Amino acid sequence: MFIPLHDGVPLRYMRAPYVTHVLIALCVLLYLLLTLRESETGQIAIAAGFGLIPSVLFGTAQLPPELLQAPAWLTPLSNVFLHLGFAHLIGNMLFLFVFGDNVEDAMGHARFLLFFCLCGLGGSLAHALINPASEQPLIGASGAISGVIAAYLMLYPRVRIWGLAFNWIPLRITALYAIIAWVLFQLVQALLDPDGHVGWWAHLGGLATGVALTPVFIHRQARLFGRPARG
């Protein structure tokens, strides 16, 4: 659809977005550890053990003892940091790299980390509530990153960003139009895939969480849609 590459928005309140860099490094490191050291069977076991399985979360199904890795209540968060596909990892990390630094700048390090985790939880729970009987594990940072995208849109709707349309056509487009198109794509896909084979509702849940939390988490000096966030 659209992959962001660069926005050119300078940092205003901090020297470097340390949390964004650490989150990217953590996700990449976990991906490398899983793909380079684990067999395919081991990767499936880790995805089942640390991924969010709605039916297990709600107690209508149980994992075999050999697949238990984390308690079910932890999986709405633990799944956020796992990726088993290279394209999935790179896509998510590009979005986080382009948008995360400016959102972290507007929130501060600690609040941005909490914001990221809460958006991930919001996305996970939305997916689980829409697909409560699903036995397929949900993994990936897409829900958390969707919240970051929502915050960026609320902070910098008029910024023009460079990216790849349809994954290969270079394009410079206003963030508002690019992100609206991305949101509509997520919504259409969610309606077309009601069984939850892809975590589209996690994306939308993370997005809604980001919209709700952004005004609370940003600095007083930061502006939403060009206006002061709080009086």
pLDDT at 45: 87
Q: What average pLDDT does range 72-83 have in this prediction? A: 96
2-228 CATH pick, 3.40.50.1700, 3.40.630.30, 1.20.1540.10, 3.40.50.300: 1.20.1540.10
pTM: 0.92
- pLDDT single digits (tens) 161-220: 998 877 778 888 898 888 888 889 888 888 887 665 678 999 999 999 999 999 999 998
Q: Note whether 149 and 179 are within 8 A (CB).
A: yes
Query: What are the beta bridge partners of residue 160?
Result: 174
Report the alpha-carbon distance of residue 151 to residue 149 in Å, rounded: 5
Q: List the single range of 115-124, 148-157, 219-228 with lowest mean pLDDT.
A: 219-228
pLDDT at 44: 83
Mean pLDDT taken over the chain: 90
- pLDDT at 228 exceeding the cut of 60: no
Give me the DSSP letters along 47-110: HHHHSB-HHHHTTSS---GGG--S-GGGHHHHGGG----HHHHHHHHHHHHHHHHHHHHHH-HH
Q: Which helix (H) or strand (E) holds 5?
A: strand 2-6
Report the alpha-carbon distance of residue 18 to residue 83 in Å, rounded: 21
- pLDDT single digits (tens) 33-43: 888 877 877 88
Report the alpha-carbon distance of residue 49 to residue 37 in Å, rounded: 17
pLDDT at 195: 66
- From the list 218, 222, 149, the residue with the least C-alpha distance to 186 is 149
